[in-house]
Structure 1
Amino acid sequence: MRNAVFARLYLAQIASLFGDAFTWLGLALLTYELNPKNAAVILASALTLRVTAYIIFSPFAGVVSEKLPRKSILVCTQLFRMLFVCMLPFVNSEWQVYVLIFLLNVFAAFFTPTYRAIIPQIVEREIYREANGLSMATFQLLSVFGPALAGIATVWLGAKQIFYVNGASLLIAMALLVSIPAAALQKGITAKGKEPVNAWGEVLKGVRLLFGNRILRFSLSIEFISAIAGAVILVNTVGLVKTSLQLDDKHYGWIMSAFGVGAAITAFVLGGMDKSRTRSVSLISGALLLGTAISVANYFSYEGLMILWVLAGIGQTLADMPSETLIGENIAAEDQGKVYGSHFAFSHLWWAIAYPLAGFLGTSFPEKEFLYGGILTIGLASLAILFFRPFSVSIKSEDM
């Protein structure tokens, strides 16, 4: 945080993520108000559109971040997000929700890869992992406590008014971004990188660099496995708590908080660990810990499930976090934008595949969905270790 540029970027991220929690809680209430009988379908469709926007546009975001001023990208995307969020209180039909959510996340798809590509350029290499860990841990913490704060605010402000809280948070984020010198955000961009190029060619180059590097290919395979286990948790925990254990919403909230806290604490700790030796250890142990934790969940009491979900949160961070750091370490600075964009797209594609699979397990095997999900996770992790694990964790650019 002594790095002024990183500190402002980080605080802008906090403001943006804090407001997002209010938007998604408000969206759930808004869809119920529009159509109580069809609220779940509307919300699910909106979430699907969110992921779709990420998959389609984030690879191009990486290319754009290398051609246009990054400060302009960050500020403009936040501005348009603020405008679309502040329109949500005025919607009165389902199609308006779909259009606004899609547009909102198109601009989010351009913001996030640009933000991630900047961090390795503005912090010293020896503390990059700590900076990434702080950023990821904050995301995990706000994903846990943000909805709780949004719920409290809803009591005082009302369902539609909390969208304006996100609007205000995005305004704060823009102010912080405007205060950063534009030149500081352009580090790593060469004159060659600014030359006009074929957008599709650059997108394909980002994909080739992502999958062409052995350690990145391995980490991406582990992320897919982590998405399957994570989707099983997110989709089926509510049924396990309320149907199998016969508990209420409060207990479900505590269980999911345990998962988020485990993930957040691990992100903080992992950021300060050894800089080179823990990469593949983190990936492998995270996938195996996730699979083991969920595989026995159907057979534990509430107290035991709390412990298992802390372990699952730890496993998810161990499996997901190294990818961000590895891109910064293994990809040349002038190519990192397009690779971060490709990674952002594929990581969301994994979740788009994992969610239906988790739903299938939950509906087809209601008493053993976590057992089968855990077996699948461990099995796929074993295959990834066998076929994709690199011989060295310190793969250099020339090995791509």
Structure 2
Amino acid sequence: MTEIKNDPYAPLRIPDFSLFISARFLVTLAIQIQGTVVAWQLYEITKDPWAVGLIGAAEVIPSITVSLLGAGHIADVVERKKIILACLTTLLLCSALLLSFTVKPEATIGVYGAMPIYAVIFLSGIARGFLTPALFAFMPQLVSRELYRSAVTLNSTLWQIGSIIGPVIGGLIYGFYDVTAAYIADTVLVLAGVLLALNVTRKPLPPPSHKEESIFDKLSAGLRFVFNNKIVLSAISLDLFAVLFGGAVAMLPFFANEILHADKIGLGFLRAAPGVGAVMIAFYLLHFPLKKNAGKILFLAVGGFGLCMIGFALSTSFWLSLFILALSGAFDGISVLIRGTLLQTLTPENMKGRVSAVNNIFIGSSNELGQVESGAAAKLMGGVVRSVVFGGCVTLVVVAFTAWKSKTLRNLQKLD
């Protein structure tokens, strides 16, 4: 068992885990292609940063709503594979709808503008709101507890690789062919992900708590767990504000076109750059896991991310911007790995869905809320540069405040 535990690739030798992360990789690839294409498509339609920022609102509102209404609870009481397949099928429908809008654009976008696109993103937000806690809760059922850290790292690495390749593929297909071809690729990849997920073995739900609880208690159990655990609460809060205010991805079409003078292909590389940095750091941590000072490293990583956002906003060089974004991805990758491992190891098996739903509200949804914040800040501050600099500064303030207040997280040594 010790030999298996020390083998960073041991989870890949478990067929169900390999199928699981392969399916997630293909769907991630599709989502990243779709995100790149939708952002540029709306930019071409509207030329308005607020309109592009609203993509985040269209997805985050339903995602938060279903999380609050019990998506996590459902992941703890309904067979998780069934939830995953239902959500992936819905995402497949969304991809097909976006494709159909490009076949006869005069009948949809030509008449209603960007509204059909927002409607589809809204539907995908509902699916992803249910999908996230189901994926989080299902993965640890596929591996033994001593393999959690390696499984989390491998899962995160494959996700990051998808985040790297997806925008590049999306930009290349959109640039060399057209929007229809890009949405065809998106649809085919989601379909492949569904087919792989079908072959993962069904797993029984973990036994529920013997304590009698009302429906309200069951729904709020995830919130109570997070707010009663100082380490988890501090880690989630730190990432929440960093992602909410520090991200620049939503405004990349404007940086690419108006400041860095890049085309659609350049936009794809810019969107992929953070993933490159995240994958490099993930491979390093897979072979050289953190053994001490995990809390201090988390604070340094989030602070480094904020500094990168300020540097990116002030850069006028495409290559320098590409490097800074890659560096920001490395810092973010450290943060994601630490938080993900803490959540998997500290959360009871029969509560993983609900705790993941809370994490989705505070972290997953903050990506989309960050898009809204970026668009609004750019509108109010008179430009995307000022809005991203402001966000990076807020991130540094949050890091300093959390480090001052959270002694427990600051002194955290080991993740397990």
- What's the TM-score bracket when you normalise by the shorter of the two chains? 0.7 to 0.9
Q: Which moved more, 1:217-226 or 1:43-52?
A: 43-52
Q: 2:66 is matched by which residue type in structure 1?
A: F
**Aligned counterpart for 2:342 among listed residues 297, 310, 326:** 326
Q: 1:386 is matched by which residue type in structure 2?
A: W
Deviations 1:316-365 (A, max 9, x none): 22223322111111111111111011101111343455445444654527
**Aligned counterpart for 1:335 among listed residues 345, 351, 356:** 351
Unaligned regions of 5+ residues in structure 1, if any? none
Unaligned regions of 5+ residues in structure 2, if any? 1-11, 102-107
Q: 1:279 is matched by which residue type in structure 2?
A: A
Q: 2:262 is matched by which residue type in structure 1?
A: D
Does structure 2 retain, via aligned residues, the 8 Å contact 1:54–1:109? yes
Q: 1:2 is matched by which residue type in structure 2?
A: R
**Aligned counterpart for 1:190 among listed residues 200, 207, 227:** 207
What is the RMSD of the two structures over their aligned residues, measured on CA atoms? 3.3
Q: Equivalent residue for 1:386?
A: 404
Superposed, which structure 2 residues align to 1:1-400 within 5 Å?
Answer: 1-28=12-39, 31=42, 36-37=45-46, 43-59=52-68, 60-91=70-101, 92=108, 93=112, 94-154=114-174, 158-183=178-203, 186=204, 189-192=206-209, 198-228=214-244, 230-231=246-247, 233-235=248-250, 243=258, 247-249=261-263, 253-274=268-289, 277-297=292-312, 302=317, 303-359=319-375, 362=378, 364=381, 369=387, 371-390=389-408, 392-393=411-412
Measure how far apart 1:106 and its partner are: 0.9
Does structure 2 retain, via aligned residues, the 8 Å contact 1:263–1:313? yes
Does structure 2 retain, via aligned residues, the 8 Å contact 1:218–1:389? no
Pair 1:126–1:353, CA change in 2 (3 A): same
Pair 1:270–1:229, CA change in 2 (3 A): farther
Does structure 2 retain, via aligned residues, the 8 Å contact 1:206–1:342? yes
Does structure 2 retain, via aligned residues, the 8 Å contact 1:133–1:321? yes
Distance across 2 between alignment mates of 1:348 and 1:167: 23
Distance across 2 between alignment mates of 1:257 and 1:12: 20
Pair 1:378–1:156, CA change in 2 (3 A): closer
Percent identity between the two aligned chains: 18
TM-score of the aligned structures, taking structure 1 as reference length: 0.83
Paired residue secondary structure (1:131):
helix
Pair 1:196–1:52, CA change in 2 (3 A): farther
Does structure 2 retain, via aligned residues, the 8 Å contact 1:285–1:319? no
Pair 1:235–1:67, CA change in 2 (3 A): closer
Measure how far apart 1:26 and its partner are: 4.4
Deviations 1:100-155 (A, max 9, x none): 32222211221122111122232233332222122222222222321221333346
Q: Which moved more, 1:254-263 or 1:342-351?
A: 254-263
Measure how far apart 1:284 and its partner are: 0.9
Distance across 2 between alignment mates of 1:11 and 1:235: 27
Measure how far apart 1:279 and its partner are: 2.9
Does structure 1 retain, via aligned residues, the 8 Å contact 2:40–2:253? no
Paired residue secondary structure (2:335):
helix
Measure how far apart 1:384 and its partner are: 0.2
Does structure 1 retain, via aligned residues, the 8 Å contact 2:66–2:129? yes
Q: 1:21 is matched by which residue type in structure 2?
A: Q
Pair 1:360–1:52, CA change in 2 (3 A): closer
Does structure 2 retain, via aligned residues, the 8 Å contact 1:226–1:316? no
Distance across 2 between alignment mates of 1:372 and 1:356: 14
Q: 2:81 is matched by which residue type in structure 1?
A: K
